[in-house]
């Protein structure tokens, strides 16, 4: 097929020999099967911000580190340079997450290169060498549903131990190869320690899994692995192989109102100091 303009720089630089076909079009990117020497790989071309499906990106980008103060100020102002930097940071998040998660033993595609806004990575295949199907495209027995659910809950645990929450995990961004589930689509990945939305998003990810697999194994609908996993993480007890029950009972106790107010006031002062620092830097 004709080489898309966004992939042409990779062809020019010798990273890609040619485009075999389009694999899919998602809410954030177009994905192509490409020839790279003797290997067949996957090229993910990110869509422009105004064409993506993530309209509440601020929930995902909270707590992400910037390269320098100039970049941070530009992104905060929403200038043209700031928007370009914000877009580049969104794309780099997936590359960084894939490297960290692969090192942590999470089943994700192997990233090979990131060039001109295109992520070149492993093409996940089935036993016949064809692109692996998405989870929602395969028929599941009750046994398979239980096995895949347990596998993915364990992957979520390993991700959190590596400091990452997927943030959009569902049957639509899990591939299934001959060895089981492979997690994909991570540009919205969340820093678990720095993002105040991390708990909510992790619990939503796990609830999505329970809702999907619960169609085939109904008792999974009554589990609460998300709350259990987060409680272990918050207490510093979560390990990649932590035993899980799927049952969680929240401890009830009186709230320390004074402590809560102190935290709020400290956050207010910290924010005021940041705003003053930004104003001073802008006037320099």
Q: Which residues are catalytic?
A: 168, 185
For residue 17, how many C-alpha atoms fall within 13 Å in the half-sphere facing its CB?
8
| CA atoms of 108 and 174, how far apart (whole Å) | 9
Q: Under a CB-based contact definition with an 8 Å cutoff, are residues 35 and 16 in contact?
A: yes
| CA atoms of 144 and 179, how far apart (whole Å) | 12
| DSSP-assigned letter for residue 249 | -
Burial (CB count <10 Å: 0-12, 13-18, 19+), residue 28 = buried
Q: Under a CB-based contact definition with an 8 Å cutoff, are residues 76 and 64 in contact?
A: no
- Cβ atoms within 10 A of the Cβ of 166, count? 28
Q: Under a CB-based contact definition with an 8 Å cutoff, are residues 213 and 146 in contact?
A: yes
Q: Under a CB-based contact definition with an 8 Å cutoff, are residues 169 and 146 in contact?
A: no
Q: Give the total residue count for the chain.
A: 284
In sequence order, the β-bridge partners of residue 40 are 35
């Amino acid at each position: 097929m004709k080489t898309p303009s966004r992939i042409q720089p990779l062809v020019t630089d010798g990273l890609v020999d040619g485009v075999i076909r389009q694999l899919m079009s998602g809410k954030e990117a177009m994905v192509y099967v490409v020839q790279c020497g003797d290997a067949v790989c996957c090229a993910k071309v990110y869509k422009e911000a105004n064409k993506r499906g993530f309209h509440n990106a601020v929930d995902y980008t909270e707590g992400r580190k910037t390269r320098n103060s100039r970049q941070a100020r530009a992104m905060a102002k929403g200038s043209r340079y700031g928007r370009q930097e914000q877009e580049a940071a969104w794309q780099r998040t997936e590359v960084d997450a894939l490297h960290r998660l692969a090192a942590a033993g999470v089943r994700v595609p192997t990233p090979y290169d990131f060039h001109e806004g295109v992520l070149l990575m492993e093409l996940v295949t089935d036993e016949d060498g064809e692109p692996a199907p998405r989870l929602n495209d395969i028929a599941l027995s009750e046994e398979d549903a239980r096995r895949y659910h347990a596998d993915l809950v364990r992957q979520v645990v390993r991700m959190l131990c590596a400091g990452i929450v997927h943030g959009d995990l569902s049957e639509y961004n899990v591939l299934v190869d001959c060895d089981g589930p492979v997690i994909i689509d991570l540009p919205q990945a969340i820093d678990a320690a720095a993002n105040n939305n991390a708990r909510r998003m992790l619990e939503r990810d796990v609830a999505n899994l329970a809702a999907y697999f619960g169609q085939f194994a109904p008792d999974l609908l009554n589990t609460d692995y998300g709350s259990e996993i987060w409680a272990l993480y918050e207490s510093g007890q979560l390990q990649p192989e932590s035993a899980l029950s799927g049952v969680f009972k929240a401890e009830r106790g009186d709230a320390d109102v004074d402590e809560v107010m102190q935290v709020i006031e400290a956050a207010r002062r910290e924010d005021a100091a940041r705003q003053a620092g930004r104003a001073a830097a802008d006037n320099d």
